[in-house]
Chains A and B, each alone.
Chain A
Amino acid sequence: MKKRVLLMSIIIVMIAATLFAAGVQEGAKERHAFVFKNTGNPYGEKQMSGFEDGIVEQGFEAILRAPDLPTAEAQIQIIEQLISQNVTSITITGNDFDALEPVMKNAMAAGITVLSADSAVNPASRKTHINQADSEMIGRTLIRAAFDMAGGSGQIAILSATSQASNQNLWIEWMKKELEDPKYKNIQLVRVAYGDDLRDKSVAETEALLRTYPNLKVIIAPTTVGIAAAGKVITDKNLQGKVFITGLGLPSEMAEYIENGACPYMFLWNPIDVGYLSAYAATAVASGKITGKVGDKFSAGRLGEFVVTQASDGGTEVLLGPPFRFDPSNIAEWKTVY
């Protein structure tokens, strides 16, 4: 009997508290959200801080989210939570090209503007995509760099992230297309290995490549973990000058290997700018200034004017610019930035 009374009184207190809480006021500012692939990633942190700068500059509030594991399921949960909060726009760096389509469509149905940045989601899931650099240009530039480092002929290999990573897969496709050019007839792509963006696996794959192909000249690693792991292996085995590394890497991670010659030069772009550009694109679409179709123009604060162009996956995109080259001459300046 006593227990029942106690339970009832607890329930009544709780219902009262809940109803009381329901009267809390909403915030006044428009809110724009950015969802990255995973947490604890310095590249992602920079992208998010750039986004925040861009949003705050325009007088709005920014929400920055990232799941602890880089899965699509976790991002679906986050987007659901954002829909419940009635945010004005969501910009997402997708963990999966297709898996976010149903939830993004839900967001659009709820009146939320949806964009993707860096890692695209399929055209049906977004209004437009903020691309850090033209995927074709990235692929071709990396092959040209490898050609240069190999001295015109020899074996090269690619060390990628996971086999499911849409960005990397797209760049690798363009790399293979570039290799079809007769200029590369003496260059042989022996293998595409997957390091899964795990240090230990990337190291094991690099070591296996070196062992299986003793005449390997260049390893292209279009992923920040992979290129740093490969750089470490080359350095540890004192193969600088015999085997070269290039690809896409963080200047902070690669500073050591650029300075010691394992990596003559590599490429990336400024993630802060990617975030900043996304902020302006998101607000432009949300406010109706543009709709995300080809030819739309908008202004992006300190970065200037941008035009929406056709993307290779059937949707539209906004290009930040050409990839940026890091080499011994500028690495010291950039290694502390990101």
Chain B
Amino acid sequence: MAQRELLIERQRSMKRFIMQWEWLLLLIFMMIHVVNSFLSPYYLNFNTFIRTPMTFLDKSFLVLPMTFVIILGNIDISVGSTVALSSVIMATAYNAGVAMPLAMLLCLVVATTCGLINGVLMVKFKELSAVIVTLSTMTIYRGVAYVILEDRAAGNFPNWFSFLGWGSIAGIPFMLIMFVICAVLFGILLHKTTFGRKIFGIGNNKNACIYSGIETNRVLLWVSILTGLMAGFTALFLTSRMGSTRPNVAQGYELEVIAMVVLGGVSTAGGKGKIIGPVLAIFIIGFLSYGLGLVNISAQVLLIIIGMLLIISTMILNIRFKRMKKPRVLQS
């Protein structure tokens, strides 16, 4: 009996440790606000708080499905190219006479298809790692975008289209509202549905799941479809913010998104993580970059700061995790 009580108590304190990653992120987030306020008198006003999220939210839509992908133990570096391709097709279609709402739908369809292709390739050719599949599709999708638009830009969207990236409802940016809705949906999907549990399971031990009858292929396909769909949303918002598009948009997005996900406490070994982590990480990196930009820190120093932030925060968390790991070994 005493043994069992010990187990439960250890588990509770273990739960606290698991929670700690997200608490630490919250702490960092608040500290950044303080530091930023000290740095620049322009930081603390309502306009800044409205404007700042809009600068980093467009790629944040990708962070949500990428969390799923990484918990699964995979990776997807083709998201930037999917954004570019769907954006280019939308713009070309609109300029060819297709009605704007239909063009926007086309954007989402193209993006989802790109994600689906990724999923099908990974399912049909299990020998291939996610890296090589998404690496080749990354090149192919952007290549197609280049074939379509070549060296031109495409834009001239109707005026109401800029509302997506620039507009607000009751003072709150539209992008922020949409992002919060998506984050909540993804959070529910991950933590409260069997689909989410399956994702954790596959990430933890894929073979065990296959042998337990979980349809891993279907889960993989759905995650890829979701990734594509969110890339489509990103394309909509990004294109709205720029008012035009070219084949070279959204370059480098994949690494930024992955950085936000891993900073959010999702392990690339798979099987661990909560949605709130990456969401906090998005806001941390976003507000930090913005606040430092308000005092006109040079790009090179910003690079160093963000790099160190990634490394140091993970180091601190690992030291905490070390304390947690020991009891587990002793137990078994």
Contacts and interface: CB of A to CB of B under 8 A. Distances in A.
Interface in A53-69: 63-69
B41 A14 contact: no
Contacts of A72: 242, 249
A76 B237 CA distance: 14
A215 interface: no
A102 B23 CA distance: 37
A96 B40 CA distance: 29
A80 B52 CA distance: 8
Contacts of B215: none
Interface string B31-52: 1011001101111100110011
A164 B247 contact: yes
Interface string B141-183: 0000010001101010000001001100000000000000000
Interface stretch (A83-91, A138-146, A231-239, A280-288): A83-91
A67 B44 contact: no
B290 to A, nearest CB: 6
A71 interface: yes
B244 to A, nearest CB: 4
Nearest to B44: A22
Interface stretch (B67-75, B204-212, B298-306): B298-306
Interface size class of A (residues with CB under 8 A): 35 or more
A99 B153 contact: yes
Contacts of B34: 14, 17-18, 21
B294 interface: yes
A130 B238 CA distance: 28
A10 interface: yes
A44 to B, nearest CB: 11
A85 B55 contact: no
A83 B290 CA distance: 12
Nearest to B33: A18
B272 interface: no
A312 interface: no
Contacts of A26: 41
A240 B63 CA distance: 53
A299 interface: no
B38 A24 contact: yes
Nearest to A98: B244
A81 B294 CA distance: 5
Given A99-B153, A164-B247, A22 B41 contact: yes
A97 interface: yes
Contacts of B313: none
A18 B290 CA distance: 16
Given A63-B296, A80-B51, A102-B241, A18 B44 contact: yes
Q: Chain B CB within 10 Å — which of A26, A83, A86, A163 has the most? A: A163
B26 to A, nearest CB: 9
A77 interface: yes
A99 B88 CA distance: 13
A98 B248 CA distance: 13
B274 interface: no
Interface of A: 7, 10-11, 14, 17-18, 21-22, 24-26, 39-40, 63-69, 71-73, 76-78, 80-81, 83-86, 96-103, 106, 162-164, 169
Interface of B: 23, 27, 30-31, 33-34, 37-38, 40-44, 47-48, 51-52, 54-56, 146, 150-151, 153, 155, 162, 165-166, 238, 241-252, 289-290, 293-294, 296, 298-300, 302-303
20 contacts: A10-B30, A11-B30, A14-B31, A63-B296, A65-B296, A67-B299, A68-B299, A68-B302, A73-B238, A76-B55, A76-B241, A80-B290, A99-B153, A99-B244, A101-B243, A102-B165, A102-B242, A102-B243, A162-B248, A163-B146
